């Protein structure tokens, strides 16, 4: 039983160490991304809009079209834009 416990402990330690390495890499990548946004801001770009574009580009085209249609519909219902043309 001691050998099995030792194997399980070694396996657990390996999982934890892998997770810790990935967390370190994630933090480094997050810092790099933050620097890119700061550089873009320094060049006059609006970082909120850049973040929105990155989010939009991750979406499926159909999902994006559906969300845009709903947004337009809701904004129209609130009088924020003209009603969409009827088809």
pLDDT at 85: 66
Same domain, 60 and 25: no
What pLDDT sits at residue 71? 93
**CA dist 10 → 3, 17, 62 (Å):** 10, 10, 46
Q: Which domain holds residue 58?
A: 46-87
Comparing CA positions, the residue from 26, 25, 50 lying closest to residue 37 is 50
71/82 same-domain check: yes
Q: Provide the number of structural domains found in the chain.
A: 2
Question: Would the pLDDT of 44 be above 90?
Answer: yes
Q: Are residues 58 and 37 in the same domain?
A: no
CA distances from 75 to 23, 36, 81 (A): 40, 33, 6
Mean per-residue pLDDT, 33-62 = 96
- Clarify whether residues 34 and 64 are in a common domain: no
Distance CA 54, CA 48 (A): 10
pLDDT, one tens digit per residue, over 64-73 is 999 999 999 9
Asked whether residue 35 falls in the same domain as residue 59, the answer is no
Say whether both 59 and 33 belong to one domain. no
Q: How many CB atoms lie within 10 A of CB 40?
A: 14
Whether the model pTM is above 0.85: no
Q: What are phi and psi of 49, to 5 degrees?
A: -70, -40
Residue 53 sits in the same domain as residue 75? yes
pLDDT of residue 81: 83
Instruction: Indicate if the pLDDT at residue 23 is higher than 80.
Output: yes
In a shared domain, residues 63 and 85: yes
DSSP string, 46-60: -HHHHHHHHHHHHS-
């Amino acid at each position: 039983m001691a050998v099995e416990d030792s194997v399980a402990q070694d396996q657990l330690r390996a999982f934890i160490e892998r997770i810790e390495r990935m967390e370190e890499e994630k933090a480094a990548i997050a810092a790099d991304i933050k620097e890119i946004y700061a550089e873009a801001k320094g060049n006059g770009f609006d970082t909120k809009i850049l973040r929105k574009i990155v989010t939009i580009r991750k979406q499926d085209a159909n999902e994006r079209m559906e969300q845009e249609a709903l947004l337009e519909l809701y904004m129209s219902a609130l009088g924020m834009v003209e009603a969409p043309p009827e088809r």
